[in-house]
Structure 1
């Protein structure tokens, strides 16, 4: 092997994520794969003439991060739409909106992303509030969770929603007295028509809203613009040390764009894209999921998974709960009725497809597990690795069922109000006191033996791996009725590397620094194991390598 490495990384604190050989000093890559892992002296000797030599200078070196729950197209577009993160008052909102509108006079509709619930000094905005902020131009604001949108009168008129209209089960056009829309649109079936007014024509969210193809078909100019956006988003993710992402919305159009980028050498992260089954789709549409899996099978762009939604979100009380929200008779809205979901799960499972299901409330998680159990009973047990996305609340009776059914807990630590992004849930508003210990109960789930994987859900939160890691290992400790249990750094890193490789059925091929595995590596600017848990977010990627190619260098 002497002199055969194209790239060597020396003087590092290497975390291989391999239990048999967990730590080393250096890594060698040859072509697209890991050649060797060992001491700096031994790895230096493997460098071929002209090989690239990286001095990690004591920084952590580990497998490239795998973000297992993102919305790439949406996140890419959000890099250019109006950013509302950190805007928390009506006055600041008006200033931000007017400044953006003045700077973008040709924008067909001003679309803001990351808009806080309670923006109007504690309450959500109405169309009248937004009319006052921006008269004479369409305006829409998306909530951070991408489950609620607020639109002004002009946007509602142009979308044909000002006087309401039919929406799929689980979606709501909130109406005001007099038969006109208030401006609040809950879930994609309600706000999808508004997104079509944006600069992207809503194509960035089409895989999320309908899972269908652009209609009318895109022009060459639109396709080029969309490729540019995706390339920008991929480069942004690579700057955070990410080498693979699992998309959580999808259609054939996104697969085509990603394949175009791959062919051009511009795909900086590997991408898995699912088929998105909506509650109003006939189950025969699952044949399209099978076709997507058949057509896209590479290591860089592939499918094989189906995404569904079981419920909404806690903030709007559309997450499904086993009992009413405090002080209300509301228990949330099902997106799929149980029998419908069970039938979809049985059919998809019988086709050998993996499932990812958005499940926020404890009843939603129970219904999702019931569907997975129905599939197992109907089809027999198999290594399905069906995923439950989010699990922001779980009933204690359902904790052991994840592991028992061979399912996977797919979690986003920065979603938790115990992180550094969303406010603490006020006691007595959305959760009952005895539910708090089972809210965002990542360590409780891990303790059952269930596989736990981590992700950001970009653009719900930024695609910043280290911020997410900090929220797992150093969550806030607000006291009773919370029961907060931090996770270890090594468990958390495994949930971002080897665990995420495993859930995509690529264990033994990626997610570890082992000779022969894919050459996906990140070099950090410091030793993560010596960082204070509450300061680890300051660590940054200085070099990202995907398939032996440098995709980011600080």
Structure 2
């Protein structure tokens, strides 16, 4: 094609810092976007041919252009609700948390349910589970449902228990528990799948759901997030609204790609329907998810050997091991990909056993099965994970759940022998395990910079321990960015069109306000997205740089000429 016949781009971006994700390099140059795809990438001189009278041209100087972030693990509707509720993270006692709930409830008199998040008795002064009576004294006549910080348990008042018909005669559901007092009465704490007894509480009005979803999409765009993996399953609950998502896609308002997962529960009828029905590039069924264990902070993660600070317990699985193994084998036989929550090394081993059993029974295929969290791994299982080609889906921010390192309970839980294998991020990479990052939002903030900072520094918020916790597990900036871009694209079988910048790839791009490769680590968390492009459309623009239909650069600039992208 001659120059005058050259297809003109809708958008051209240029910078002295472009990270394509194909290698570790950051290069100067420019890229052209036509429709929803990247048309070309190269030096400024090369891309000049793509500029027409209607092309939007953005020059970002030294600011970083890179693939859009892809959050590999979050809970969309739960996170959206989080921003519309009372946050109890700062409460230091049961009484203080209840007062915060009361103040919020008084400010929202029309809400049928009072929702809250992030209370954590582990960090309270008394370190005891809360009781419904404390809420009843302040809010006796409205139902209250408060997720704890892990979203593996909830605190309810008596009115909520009454509406939900949870009484002393209500049986514990499979894999769940209703906490009871000495007289056998429910205390108001529901653990794991017992939260499913509160399903009716989450029948939100359409107006509220639309408002919350719009808020999520706006927030995702402001962080440069162009794709997500939405985990519908919570213990006992499924929170996701496909009709809502589909309506936004139909109206052109779905500005973040959604890959969603349903529950692995032994029934494959619904997954078969979802796989057939949701296949678009914006809204796509991505597989099945189940919980193998809980979390180490409350001794519910399943370990190979007992907890160092509770030697009478190794935790346990949420589902009998043979049951979940059977479910995985059956799902794998029908070519479903499976993602298993496993925080403890015993649960990680069980997950690998499940995937290995599927291989033995069904044969080897490109399954891209995944283990979520991998907070600690037994050294004997590192090579197994690599051999079975299991993806490690990790959220580095979880390693700093306590702001100050002296308050970090993991060294006490795991002891010195397991400490080197806690969040073994670099070790997994060295052993050729595919590593994908996500936030687990709303358990931690949605901002990718939070996870990236933690992965490259391994510091808590008090900047301790010096040099980082297990500094041998720190990774490079390029490795961290790939874990948030190309690795998740691989994880959803879309590496051919997402996750890197190259001609023909979908135009999912973020521009950051600084070059992450040229700043000191403390500044990582201050980094902001300037521009977010999803499917070729600008969905967020923090501030317009000067635009024109030409680059206004010196053609004698040798740096630009010798730094074209390949």
Q: CA RMSD in A?
A: 2.5
Counterpart for residue 365 of structure 1: 348
182 and 354 in structure 1: CA distance in 2 versus 1, 3 angstrom threshold: same
Deviation at 1:363, TM superposition (A): 0.9
Counterpart for residue 215 of structure 1: none
1:51 aligns with 2:55: yes
Q: How does 1:418-429 map to 2 (within 5 A)?
A: 424-426=407-409, 429=412
Within the candidate set 510, 523, 546, 1:535 is matched to 523
Which 10-residue stretch deviates more, 323-332 or 362-371? 323-332
Q: How does 1:166-185 map to 2 (within 5 A)?
A: 166-185=171-190
Cα contact 1:68–1:455 (8 A) shared by 2: yes
Counterpart for residue 69 of structure 1: 73
Deviation at 1:76, TM superposition (A): 1.2
Which 10-residue stretch deviates more, 106-115 or 82-91? 82-91
Counterpart for residue 513 of structure 2: 525
Which 10-residue stretch deviates more, 314-323 or 164-173? 164-173
Counterpart for residue 533 of structure 2: 545
Q: Distance in 2 between matches of 1:398 and 1:150?
A: 37
Q: Distance in 2 between matches of 1:487 and 1:514?
A: 24
User: Does the residue aligned with 2:351 lie in a helix, a strand or coil?
Assistant: helix
Cα contact 2:77–2:239 (8 A) shared by 1: no
Deviation at 1:36, TM superposition (A): 1.3
Counterpart for residue 9 of structure 1: 13
CA deviations over 1:493-536 (Å, ceiling 9, x no partner): 00001111111111121111101000100000111111211320
Deviation at 1:90, TM superposition (A): 4.6
Q: Distance in 2 between matches of 1:440 and 1:226?
A: 35
Which 10-residue stretch deviates more, 288-297 or 36-45? 36-45
Counterpart for residue 34 of structure 1: 38
Highest CA radius of gyration, 1 or 2? 2
Unaligned runs of 5+ in 2: 543-566
25 and 89 in structure 1: CA distance in 2 versus 1, 3 angstrom threshold: farther
308 and 140 in structure 1: CA distance in 2 versus 1, 3 angstrom threshold: same
Counterpart for residue 486 of structure 1: 474
Counterpart for residue 395 of structure 2: 412
118 and 23 in structure 1: CA distance in 2 versus 1, 3 angstrom threshold: same
Which 10-residue stretch deviates more, 416-425 or 97-106? 416-425
The alignment covers a number of residue pairs equal to 527
Counterpart for residue 305 of structure 1: 287
Cα contact 1:126–1:184 (8 A) shared by 2: yes
Q: Distance in 1 between matches of 2:382 and 2:260?
A: 28
59 and 147 in structure 1: CA distance in 2 versus 1, 3 angstrom threshold: same
Deviation at 1:540, TM superposition (A): 0.5
Q: Distance in 2 between matches of 1:469 and 1:376?
A: 34
1:160 aligns with 2:136: no
User: Does the residue aligned with 1:50 lie in a helix, a strand or coil?
Assistant: coil
CA deviations over 1:118-156 (Å, ceiling 9, x no partner): 364242322233334444433232112210111222222
User: Does the residue aligned with 2:298 lie in a helix, a strand or coil?
Assistant: coil
Within the candidate set 261, 266, 274, 2:248 is matched to 261
1:186 aligns with 2:191: yes
Counterpart for residue 216 of structure 1: none
CA deviations over 1:180-208 (Å, ceiling 9, x no partner): 12222211x212233533xx42x6xxxxx
160 and 495 in structure 1: CA distance in 2 versus 1, 3 angstrom threshold: same
Q: Distance in 2 between matches of 1:482 and 1:50?
A: 52
User: Does the residue aligned with 1:470 lie in a helix, a strand or coil?
Assistant: helix
CA deviations over 1:375-431 (Å, ceiling 9, x no partner): 001111111110000111211111111111011100001111278599843377522
507 and 114 in structure 1: CA distance in 2 versus 1, 3 angstrom threshold: same
Cα contact 1:369–1:402 (8 A) shared by 2: yes
Q: Distance in 1 between matches of 2:405 and 2:228?
A: 23
Q: Distance in 1 between matches of 2:52 and 2:24?
A: 28
Deviation at 1:95, TM superposition (A): 4.2
Q: Distance in 1 between matches of 2:346 and 2:394?
A: 17
Q: Distance in 1 between matches of 2:216 and 2:468?
A: 39
Which 10-residue stretch deviates more, 82-91 or 4-13? 82-91
169 and 407 in structure 1: CA distance in 2 versus 1, 3 angstrom threshold: same
538 and 420 in structure 1: CA distance in 2 versus 1, 3 angstrom threshold: farther
1:114 aligns with 2:102: no
Which 10-residue stretch deviates more, 59-68 or 322-331? 322-331
Counterpart for residue 319 of structure 1: 301
116 and 535 in structure 1: CA distance in 2 versus 1, 3 angstrom threshold: farther
User: Does the residue aligned with 2:195 lie in a helix, a strand or coil?
Assistant: helix
Cα contact 1:167–1:190 (8 A) shared by 2: yes
Q: Distance in 1 between matches of 2:145 and 2:211?
A: 24
Deviation at 1:164, TM superposition (A): 5.8
Deviation at 1:480, TM superposition (A): 12
Q: Distance in 2 between matches of 1:24 and 1:232?
A: 35
Cα contact 1:10–1:25 (8 A) shared by 2: yes
Deviation at 1:482, TM superposition (A): 5.8
